[in-house]
Amino acid sequence: MNYDIIIIGAGPGGYEMAERAAHHGKKVLLIEKSHLGGVCLNHGCIPTKTLLNSAKHYVHAKEAPEFGVTTGEVKFDLGVAMGWKQEVIETLRGGIAGLMKKNKVEVLTGEAKLLGSGKVEVDGAVYEGANVVIATGGSPFVPPIPGADQSHVMTSKEILNVETMPESLVVIGGGVIGIEFASFFSSLGVKVEVIEMLDEIIPFMDGGQAKRFRAAVKKKIGFNLGCRVTAIDGHDVKYTDKKGEEKSIHADLVLMSVGRAPNLAGMGLEETRLDFDRSGIKTDDQQRTNLPNVYAIGDVTGKSQLAHSATRMGEVALNTILGKKDTFRTNAIPWAVYSMPEIAGCGMTEEQAKEAGHKVESASLPLLMSGRFLAENGKKGPGQVKVIKDADTDVLLGVHMFGGICSEIIWGVAAMIESELRVQDVQEIVFPHPTVGEVIRSAMFSF
Amino acid sequence: MNYDIIIIGAGPGGYEMAERAAHHGKKVLLIEKSHLGGVCLNHGCIPTKTLLNSAKHYVHAKEAPEFGVTTGEVKFDLGVAMGWKQEVIETLRGGIAGLMKKNKVEVLTGEAKLLGSGKVEVDGAVYEGANVVIATGGSPFVPPIPGADQSHVMTSKEILNVETMPESLVVIGGGVIGIEFASFFSSLGVKVEVIEMLDEIIPFMDGGQAKRFRAAVKKKIGFNLGCRVTAIDGHDVKYTDKKGEEKSIHADLVLMSVGRAPNLAGMGLEETRLDFDRSGIKTDDQQRTNLPNVYAIGDVTGKSQLAHSATRMGEVALNTILGKKDTFRTNAIPWAVYSMPEIAGCGMTEEQAKEAGHKVESASLPLLMSGRFLAENGKKGPGQVKVIKDADTDVLLGVHMFGGICSEIIWGVAAMIESELRVQDVQEIVFPHPTVGEVIRSAMFSF
């Protein structure tokens, strides 16, 4: 064998696994058909957060007078924002390349074909490795709606390179991606309507908080829930509403964000005995596939579509290869939506906890309980913390938030849930004052 | 007895203890000679953070063009910022008053005198309680330097109401308060010099990070370390530098922030057998004083001068009164400095860990490892995470940070240290991507 580990796909699952494997002395080949960093860096997390940061600067500059800062006219320059976004992407790509070089990970550009356990073909050459890891990610799913092939109907990939600001946008699909783009464009004055098939946006969000979030942004974003898009007729998005009535919204631009599908094509998987279906490659809790020494991690498994889940799956796969016991657990994986206001959660929602058979107790507090939040967001700043515990055991099951920069606050909850803390244990943990995070602690005292 | 608990002082120690005691069905009398909320709300944490928020809006508006937002001329209106600060204070005071009323805590305005266990006098009337809690806080300490009594020499209390922006400011004392005000004024264009007696600012900060922090703000703030102020001659602050040379800095305004002293006067403590000295009232780990059923919490104990420490001490005192086992522990109390950039830490610094006899291993990473940090702070955004562990046991001892909004990120470290996690445990905790907090996780993989 030439390599200890061959990894196909250099997204946050693949490249981080490559780095850590090399850190452990393994000889690693990392194969990527496009750019280092995968969807996350090139067409996902990073470019969206960079653009959202620009939009936040716009909104903050507009709000500044109430805090004692006056400005001339505030204008958004899409070209400069896009330029900075591109610079961030290229800087981080360079960072990953440097990291691979420093750790002596061999990087190969090309399309990989899995020949079976231990063998991968790229451009006619066969590479042999003791272990093969498939980390090819996912792509936007475009449903077969008539008119979806028009140039002004975009996925999250194309809309990241839009050159002029539209006057109006229809977002089809109110998941994380849809809500982030709705937030970006609406903050800059674009008329935005979200059309969602389900009865609520962001399925893994606490139901009550989703409703409060929608209320907080209703002046900027229109929500059309329980509605099914039937066609995109030129610039008219046609849909059937909850009552079965046919309706239509005109939009300069349409974002198609109804979901993502695993990247399974082009690898010759059909010619192997690998167990997969259209939802992804089947893996166990150690990320093993049915083929010996072949692992799969990240979006291609269909288990979780979060970059940090992919990274964690890579760590579990690596530990398994190294002979260390490790398991991919999903009970304490935090998530965040970088909208304005932000949304974040970790652990079970009240609905999920009840479904899982817990006797549930919950406590909710507004973020305005925090002096810092009031100072920074004004008297009407929207936001809430909700804490969910098991009433019998006092064990913390989940924390769900929206408001302010809760994406940076939520991670500590993962530490608490992983440590299986009870609410009475959390009450003894000290939070710094004055912070927004403190409201989590206050909520623990509301039971 | 008329009350279960009489609390003297309505700062974050006193009023939160009152609320929680009432939540447990206790009859509580809360005595305050001035405003509800204590120093923290009225002259400390909250007004400084509100003003710093205004300064951040100013700085962000100035930096906005690089992210694609143009603003025209950016100006700071001190009157509006001060007005908003006052509104925040009054809103939160009203919030506490409402909380006390809702929880049926009796609030009395007046100066309290301790007559001994169980007895407190206010304005000639004697109040009896099964337990008495002293939570009178602390005040700025003004050293006997010639000229310190001039009206342009202020403590943190008076400077919060300054009516015109000075052209220059000398800050005597480079602790948390000094650095926050230095950051506020320098961000708004005021020429600021800090004079500190010790060889480094912020004593509980990691030494290497303090140096990096100073380098990051050196264009805005001058630092004069190892220097002793000898006199303030009109507007000239005279000091002896490290080499023993006499020097002088001219300043419109001087901030005296060399430390704080416990509020012990006026309570008739000398006439009781209470054990105290000028560093504070002596307490055990359950916040008991030497007098039966008399407790002391917060700044007046001299144990810790953080608002959240006071709150925690109040909880420990309450649990002790309720017969629940609890201890005031100091090993996992996070702290934050709300400067630009922010500073935060939890647990031991490398220096402290070595002194405590640990075989120490540490790992440091720049915050620019985080794609989000890069996107939001630019390619030169200053910041670092340092993780300290015990090399023999792998147990996490401390995390120290500066940069971005690390004050909101640090709390999770308290959860990890309280749970006595090892670095290998922390490696299994998933952080959301892309966040700044993730750099803590990355540092855990650098060992």
The kind and range of the H/E element at B385 are strand B384-390
Q: How many CB atoms neighbour CB A334 within 10 A?
A: 27
CA–CA separation, B339 and B137 (whole Å)? 24
Sequence-distant (6+) residues with CB within 8 A of B62 are B74
Angstroms from B184 CA to nearest CA on chain A:
13
**Per the residue annotation, which of B23, B57, B250, B433 is the catalytic one?**
B433
Q: Which residues of B touch A315 (CB under 8 A)?
A: 427-428
Q: What is the pTM of this model?
A: 0.97
- Nearest CA among A231, A240, A236 for reference residue A250: A236
Q: Which residues of A touch B74 (CB under 8 A)?
A: 69-71
Interface test with A, best of B82, B304, B335, B411 (most A CBs within 10 A): B411
Q: Do A91 and B379 touch (CB under 8 A)?
A: yes
CA–CA separation, B415 and A77 (whole Å)? 42
CA–CA separation, B260 and B297 (whole Å)? 16
pLDDT band per the 50, 70, 90 thresholds, residue A45: very high
State mean pLDDT over A244-268. 97
Nearest chain B residue (CA) to A426: B415
Nearest chain A residue (CA) to B437: A408
Of A63, A336, A433, the CB nearest to B307: A433
Q: Do B371 and A72 touch (CB under 8 A)?
A: no
Considering Cα of A224, then A230, then A231, then A236, what sign does the dihedral take? negative
State mean pLDDT over B96-102. 98
Is the pLDDT at A154 greater than 90, yes or no? yes
Q: Do B68 and A50 touch (CB under 8 A)?
A: no
Is the pLDDT at A407 greater than 80, yes or no? yes
pLDDT score for A399 = 98
Share of chain A above pLDDT 90, in %: 100
Q: Which residues of B touch A409 (CB under 8 A)?
A: 408-409, 411
In chain A, what is the straight-line distance between the N-terminal and C-terminal CA atoms, in Å?
Answer: 59
Q: Which residue has the tokens 């809702």?
A: B102
Could you tell me where the beta strands, DSSP code E, fall in A191-342?
191-196, 221-225, 228-233, 236-240, 246-250, 253-256, 260-262, 276-277, 280-281, 294-296, 335-337
| CATH class of segment(s) B3-140+261-321 | alpha beta
Q: Do B76 and A69 touch (CB under 8 A)?
A: yes
3-state secondary structure of B416: helix
Q: A335-444: same fold as A3-140+261-321?
A: no
Q: Is A270 exposed, middle or buried (0-12, 13-18, 19+ CB in 10 A)?
A: exposed
Nearest chain A residue (CA) to B378: A88
Q: Do B434 and A307 touch (CB under 8 A)?
A: yes
pLDDT score for A141 = 95
pLDDT tens digits for B150-199? 999 999 999 999 999 999 999 999 999 999 999 999 999 999 999 999 99
- String of b and e for A92-118 (b: at least 16 CB within 10 Å)? bbebbbebbeeeebbbbeeebbbbebb
Of A75, A83, A427, the CB nearest to B70: A75
State mean pLDDT over B329-348. 97
Q: Which residues of B touch A419 (CB under 8 A)?
A: 415-416, 419, 421
Q: Do A430 and B437 touch (CB under 8 A)?
A: no
Share of chain B above pLDDT 70, in %: 100
CA–CA separation, A413 and B197 (whole Å)? 40
Q: Do B419 and A414 touch (CB under 8 A)?
A: no
| CATH entry, A335-444, from 3.90.580.10, 3.40.50.300, 3.30.390.30, 3.40.1410.10 | 3.30.390.30
Angstroms from A41 CA to nearest CA on chain B:
8
Interface test with B, best of A58, A59, A69, A418 (most B CBs within 10 A): A69
What does the block give as tokens for A311? Answer: 């990274």
B392 contacts B409 by C-beta, under 8 angstroms = no
State mean pLDDT over B394-414. 98
Q: Is A7 exposed, middle or buried (0-12, 13-18, 19+ CB in 10 A)?
A: buried
Q: Which residues of A touch B395 (CB under 8 A)?
A: none
pLDDT tens digits for A309-366? 999 999 999 999 999 999 999 999 999 999 999 999 999 999 999 999 999 999 999 9
The overall longest dimension of chain B from CA atoms, in Å, is: 66
What does the block give as tokens for B262? Answer: 């416990």
Angstroms from B396 CA to nearest CA on chain A:
13
All structural domains of chain B with their residue ranges: 3-140+261-321, 153-258, 335-444
Cβ pairs A/B, distance under 8 A:
279
Average pLDDT taken over every residue of chain B = 97
A245 contacts A264 by C-beta, under 8 angstroms = no
CA–CA separation, B447 and A351 (whole Å)? 40
Nearest chain A residue (CA) to B418: A429
pLDDT score for A1 = 66
pLDDT band per the 50, 70, 90 thresholds, residue A283: very high
State mean pLDDT over B284-305. 97
Q: Is A209 exposed, middle or buried (0-12, 13-18, 19+ CB in 10 A)?
A: buried
Interface test with B, best of A430, A441, A442, A444 (most B CBs within 10 A): A430
pLDDT score for B124 = 95
Q: Which residues of A touch B437 (CB under 8 A)?
A: 408, 411
Q: What number does CATH give the domain A153-258?
A: 3.50.50.60
- Nearest CA among B142, B40, B96 for reference residue A433: B40
pLDDT score for B1 = 66
Q: Do A334 and B425 touch (CB under 8 A)?
A: no
DSSP state of A330: -
Helices (H) and strands (E) in chain B, counts: 13, 26
| B24 in catalytic set | no
State mean pLDDT over B302-317. 97
Angstroms from B338 CA to nearest CA on chain A:
10
Q: Do A68 and B84 touch (CB under 8 A)?
A: yes
3-state secondary structure of B308: helix
3-state secondary structure of A267: coil
